[in-house]
């Protein structure tokens, strides 16, 4: 079973993840996610998780799930913005081409 210090570190990282998620700080979320991954890998390498460890990690797992959903929503939002900009750019290019063919500059 992981030590109290290891659980304390994961609780600290959970707090950092919650703060970054509340601020929608995607870069910070990525950083904290990497730290959590490293901690969990070290714990798992030491010994397989038992039911008690999984139970203690459940809130972190739930928060991570929320972060994953928020990141997916942000990716979808940014994809839509990019698609809109691409559509507008294609429209501007078409009007510019039509104007140049008609001799209007």
Rg of the chain in Å (alpha carbons): 23
The model's pLDDT over 41-73, given as tens digits with 9 standing for 90+, comes to 998 888 888 999 999 999 999 999 999 999 999
The model's pLDDT over 10-45, given as tens digits with 9 standing for 90+, comes to 999 999 999 999 999 999 999 999 999 999 999 888
Rounded CA gap, 12 and 17, in Å? Answer: 9
Give how far Cα 104 sits from Cα of 6, 94, 98, 100, 101, Å: 70, 13, 9, 5, 8
The answer to whether the Cα torsion of 96, 102, 104, 105 is positive or negative is positive
Q: What are phi and psi of 104, to 5 degrees?
A: -95, 130
pTM, entire model: 0.75
pLDDT band at 82 (very low <50, low <70, confident <90, very high): confident
Residue 2 has pLDDT above 90, yes or no: no
pLDDT band at 100 (very low <50, low <70, confident <90, very high): confident
Neighbours of 101 (CB within 10 A): 8
């Amino acid at each position: 079973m992981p030590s109290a210090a290891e659980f304390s570190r994961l609780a600290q990282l959970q707090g950092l993840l919650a703060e970054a998620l509340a601020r929608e700080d995607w870069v910070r979320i990525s950083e904290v996610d990497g730290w959590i991954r490293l901690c969990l890998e070290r714990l798992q390498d030491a010994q397989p998780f038992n039911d008690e460890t999984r139970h203690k990690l459940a809130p972190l797992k739930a928060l991570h799930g929320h972060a994953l959903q928020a990141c997916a929503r942000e990716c979808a939002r940014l994809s839509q913005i990019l698609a809109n900009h691409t559509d507008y750019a294609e429209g501007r290019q078409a009007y510019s081409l039509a104007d140049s063919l008609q001799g209007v500059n």
